[in-house]
Amino acid sequence: MTVQTIPPVTEMTTAELDELIEALQEARVIRSEREAPPEWHGEILRQREAALKNGTDRFISLEEVEKRIRERVR
């Protein structure tokens, strides 16, 4: 393992911030591949699948999502 010295983010250049963000994202992907998702996540997915099957929920298009957002922000 290597030790890195990271300056305060308020002192970093844009390029340094981009590099840090990229390293953090890569570390997060690696970690998430090793860890099992939490049980509650599976339960939510099962609930959503059941709602789709029994007709209490449905998919909508991206266009519909955009329309609804525009209506809310007016």
pLDDT at 50: 98
Residue 71, pLDDT > 60, answer yes
Q: What are the tokens at 16?
A: 């340094």
Q: What are the tokens at 37?
A: 């998702």
Could you tell me if 59 and 48 are in contact, meaning their C-beta atoms sit under 8 angstroms apart? Answer: no
User: What percentage of the chain has pLDDT greater than the value 70?
Assistant: 96
